[in-house]
Amino acid sequence: MPEVRLVGPNGEQVGIVSIGDALKLAQESDLDLVEVAATARPPVCKLMDYGKFKYESAMKAREARRNQAHTIIKEIKLRPKIDPHDYETKKGHVVRFLKAGDKVKVTIMFRGREQSRPELGFRLLQRLAEDVTELGFVESQPKQDGRNMIMVIGPHKKKAEAKAERAAARAQRGADAPVDLPDEAVAPVE
């Protein structure tokens, strides 16, 4: 008769027993006999509540998915002849995205005669990359793509780290905020 190595419900080694005996033990303890390692000689089986096991593993997987950070690519579009103030505004957006842990795709759109001067766009992208070096790094160098020039900047911080920092800052602001109580709440009770 075929035999299995049996592991008890709390992880204790029962030993090598026949399949019939293992099934009897499972019925007596109102548990399921689950094959854990089929390739081992003899196969390893465990006494467990299989429904509970499946539920717990599904909950762990769900929790892992919830804590997973989704990488988002934000896009900023510029023109080669951008006004200094507009450049600062766009740079502020890039800084905000990088602080949040998102990648930023910077696109420079060339129109008409601007297409004959791609070095203007290249210099603008290099300037932007230098301005945000403390927050991010150039993930893909500027390259011409038809009428556009594209560069991708990646954050130094991971999305989860940025999220944790924001939550900590929010909690700190909440703790520092003064509490306004009505005058009746402060007055002594007579």
**Beta-sheet strands, E only, within the chain:** 3-7, 13-18, 32-37, 44-48, 73-78, 103-109, 136-145, 148-155
**Model pTM above 0.85:** no
Domain CATH code at residue 138: 3.30.110.10
Q: For residue 15, what are the CA distances in angstroms to 1, 8, 12, 22, 176?
A: 16, 9, 9, 10, 61
Of the pLDDT bands very low, low, confident and very high (cuts 50, 70, 90), residue 90 is very high
Which tens digits make up the pLDDT trace of 96-119?
A: 999 888 899 999 999 988 888 889
- According to DSSP, residue 187 is labeled S
What tokens appear for 182 in the block?
A: 């009505």
Which domain does 149 fall in, by range? 73-160
pLDDT computed for residue 110 by the predictor = 92
Residue 64 lies in a domain: no
Residue 20 lies in a domain: yes
Residue 57 lies in a domain: no
- According to DSSP, residue 11 is labeled S
One domain, residues 41 and 118: no
Phi, psi angles (nearest 5°) of residue 141: -65, 155
pLDDT computed for residue 54 by the predictor = 92
* Residue whose C-alpha is closest to residue 102's, from 162, 173, 43: 162
Residue 183 lies in a domain: no
One domain, residues 42 and 82: no
Which tens digits make up the pLDDT trace of 27-37?
A: 988 999 888 88
Which helix (H) or strand (E) segment is 129 a member of? helix 118-131
